[in-house]
């Protein structure tokens, strides 16, 4: 067993080329990608990915939900493989990097090892998870959630898109109903590289984010009932204005998140008025609201403060009622110290500036973390912008992330022999 080749880089231009090449599957006019899960565009990128992995010497298996696994054998077949990868589906008007970078960088790691003639101790397994985005079928991160047993396969296969097409029908239509049972692929650990989807690395001019936590999250649906009345003839003291009540709640959400900052965020993303009219006082308002924090105790404090604020606001609005339903809750995720350490050491060893980070967004890695040691690598994206055709990242940052992924995987798997 030789020394680990400590500065081996991935082939930056080859990695960048695959990002640009696959962006053609569902390319949008503004330079983004529309590649909804299990669509014909998704089929094309899956076919491309399968052929590329096989050309790189991997054996590709597909499970019953279309999750794809490309296995590169290691010297020690008794060890479960080190997993690496992400997803290839996109938002309806998504970008070229979200998920895609992590999957194609994993392929590039295999290609780089092949070029260098390096065999690892543990096998490697490159993964492409089905429906991370959740835009066509709910829930998001569907493939990895079913993989770890959060949903049954039957439950997921019956989910329908807006046109009434089921996941089962969509999988059959693109030929990605695999023979492998969902959850049967073993992993010793898993590493996911992803763009940050936030502005912190860019703002601090850091290259690598070492993701230690995933935020806990709580989602609410809100319903406010006041009374519709004439905007001209109803005096201010007699109004039961659902929209003014809503506005207090929005500002309370903002204030509560700031109070518990910096490790807390709170957002109202949706609002609709029933029967809106320019000259009618809104009588009924529906909205959604969420809070996130990487710390369990802060998440609980956010929930308590929100409940208290809603009660106080409703009490101050005579004749207005506010109903709040918590529709989803997930405790914070803590990634594995050993995998986190391997990522940090890889970044340091390669000379990349780095910082510990919390992931604000959800990722397949969070689902996997309930069953195996996991951590994530972030690289900067322009203006923190994601879920947008204008999403952008530099070749240098993508390459840096792939290099950290390579050396993290080498550290976790062990090097059997180097050329």
Of residues 362 through 381, those in contact with a copy of itself by CB under 8 A are 362
Was 133 annotated as part of a binding site?
Answer: yes
| 83 three-class SS | strand
Cβ proximity of 193 and 401 under 8 Å: yes
Provide the β-strand partners of residue 272.
286
Mask of contacts with a copy of itself, 158-197, x by CB under 8 A? --------------------------------------xx
Q: With CB under 8 A as the contact rule, which of the stretches 34-42, 110-118, 261-269, 334-342 interacts with a copy of itself?
A: 261-269
> How far apart are alpha carbons 378 and 397 in whole angstroms?
10
278 near a copy of itself (CB under 8 A): yes
The DSSP output letter for 223 is E
The residue among 68, 74, 86 whose CA lies nearest residue 120 is 74
Q: With CB under 8 A as the contact rule, which of the stretches 38-46, 169-177, 279-287, 335-343 interacts with a copy of itself?
A: 279-287
Q: Give the residue, chosen from 231, 309, 372, 416, that forms a contact with a copy of itself under the rule CB under 8 A.
A: 231
Nearer to a copy of itself among residue 114 and residue 288 (C-beta): 288
Q: Residue length, the chain?
A: 419
Q: Give the residue, chosen from 18, 386, 399, 411, that forms a contact with a copy of itself under the rule CB under 8 A.
A: 386
Q: Give the residue, chosen from 54, 172, 270, 331, that forms a contact with a copy of itself under the rule CB under 8 A.
A: 270
Least distance from C-beta 292 to a copy of itself, angstroms? Answer: 5
Other C-beta atoms lying within 10 Å of the C-beta of residue 303: 18
The residue among 251, 204, 201 whose CA lies nearest residue 394 is 201
- Cα 209 to Cα 317, 376, 397, 405, 408, distances in angstroms: 45, 8, 11, 12, 13
Was 407 annotated as part of a binding site?
Answer: no
Q: Give the residue, chosen from 80, 148, 173, 200, that forms a contact with a copy of itself under the rule CB under 8 A.
A: 200
With tokens 């940090």, the residue in question is: 344
11 near a copy of itself (CB under 8 A): no
Strands (E), 25-123: 59-62, 68-72, 82-86, 119-120
Least distance from C-beta 363 to a copy of itself, angstroms? Answer: 10
Residue 139: cis peptide before it, omega within 30 degrees of 0 = yes
> How far apart are alpha carbons 176 and 26 in whole angstroms?
18
Non-local (6+) Cβ contacts of 44 within 8 A are: 25
- The CA angle 33-34-40, to the nearest 5 degrees, is 120
Least distance from C-beta 387 to a copy of itself, angstroms? Answer: 7
Tell how far CA 81 is from the center of its chain: 22
Was 230 annotated as part of a binding site?
Answer: no
The residue among 319, 241, 248 whose CA lies nearest residue 281 is 241
From the number of C-beta atoms within 10 Å of its C-beta (0-12, 13-18, 19+), residue 179 rates as exposed
387 near a copy of itself (CB under 8 A): yes
Nearer to a copy of itself among residue 150 and residue 221 (C-beta): 221
The residue among 362, 371, 341, 315 whose CA lies nearest residue 186 is 371
Least distance from C-beta 380 to a copy of itself, angstroms? Answer: 12
**In the Cβ-directed half-sphere of 23, how many Cα atoms lie within 13 Å?**
23
Was 87 annotated as part of a binding site?
Answer: yes
296 near a copy of itself (CB under 8 A): no
Nearer to a copy of itself among residue 65 and residue 265 (C-beta): 265
309 near a copy of itself (CB under 8 A): no
55 near a copy of itself (CB under 8 A): no
Q: With CB under 8 A as the contact rule, which of the stretches 108-116, 146-154, 255-263, 395-403 interacts with a copy of itself?
A: 255-263
232 near a copy of itself (CB under 8 A): yes
Nearer to a copy of itself among residue 20 and residue 255 (C-beta): 255
**Max Cα-Cα span within the chain:** 86
Q: Give the residue, chosen from 166, 219, 309, 355, that forms a contact with a copy of itself under the rule CB under 8 A.
A: 219
Was 221 annotated as part of a binding site?
Answer: no
Give the residues lining the site for a copy of itself (CB under 8 A). Answer: 196-200, 203, 215, 217, 219, 228-238, 241, 243-244, 246-248, 250-251, 254, 257-258, 261-262, 264-271, 273, 276-282, 288, 290, 292, 359-362, 384-388
* Numbered residues of the known binding site: 87, 98, 133, 194, 387
* Numbered residues of the known binding site for Zn(2+): 87, 98, 133, 194, 387
């Amino acid at each position: 067993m030789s020394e680990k080749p400590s500065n081996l880089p991935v082939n930056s231009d080859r990695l960048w080329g695959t990002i640009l090449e696959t962006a053609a599957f569902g390319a949008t006019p503004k330079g983004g990608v529309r590649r909804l899960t299990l669509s014909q565009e998704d089929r094309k990128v899956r076919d491309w990915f399968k052929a590329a992995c096989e050309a790189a010497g991997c054996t590709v298996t597909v499970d019953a939900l279309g999750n794809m696994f490309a296995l590169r054998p290691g010297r020690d077949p008794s060890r479960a493989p080190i997993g690496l990868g992400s997803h290839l589906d996109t938002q309806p008007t998504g970008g070229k990097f979200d998920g895609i970078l992590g999957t194609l960088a994993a392929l590039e790691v295999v290609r780089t090892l092949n070029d260098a003639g390096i065999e690892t101790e543990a096998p490697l397994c490159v993964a492409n998870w089905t429906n991370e985005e959740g835009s066509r079928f709910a829930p998001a991160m569907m493939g990895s959630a079913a993989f770890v047993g959060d949903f049954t396969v039957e439950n997921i296969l019956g989910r329908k898109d807006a046109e009434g097409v089921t996941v089962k029908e969509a999988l059959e239509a693109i030929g990605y109903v695999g023979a492998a049972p969902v959850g049967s692929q073993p992993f010793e650990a898993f590493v996911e590289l992803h763009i940050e989807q936030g502005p912190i690395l860019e703002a601090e001019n850091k290259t690598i984010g070492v993701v230690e936590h995933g935020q806990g999250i709580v989602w609410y649906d809100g319903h406010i009932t006041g009374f519709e009345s004439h905007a001209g003839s109803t005096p201010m003291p007699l109004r039961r204005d659902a929209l003014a009540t809503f506005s207090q709640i929005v500002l309370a959400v903002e204030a509560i998140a700031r109070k518990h900052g910096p490790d807390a965020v709170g957002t109202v993303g949706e609002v609709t008025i029933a029967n809106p009219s320019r000259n009618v006082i809104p009588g009924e308002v529906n909205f959604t609201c969420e809070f996130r924090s990487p710390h369990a105790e802060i998440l609980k404090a956010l929930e308590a403060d929100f409940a208290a604020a809603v009660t106080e606001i409703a009490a101050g609005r005579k004749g207005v009622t506010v109903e709040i339903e918590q529709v989803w809750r997930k405790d914070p995720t803590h990634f594995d110290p050993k995998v986190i350490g391997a990522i940090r050491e890889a970044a340091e060893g390669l000379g990349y500036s780095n910082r510990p980070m919390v992931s604000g967004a959800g990722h397949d890695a969070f689902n996997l973390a309930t069953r195996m040691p996991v951590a994530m690598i972030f690289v900067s994206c322009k203006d923190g912008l994601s879920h947008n055709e204008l999403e952008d990242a530099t070749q240098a940052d993508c390459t840096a992330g792939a290099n950290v992924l390579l050396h993290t995987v080498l550290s976790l798997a062990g090097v059997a022999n180097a050329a």
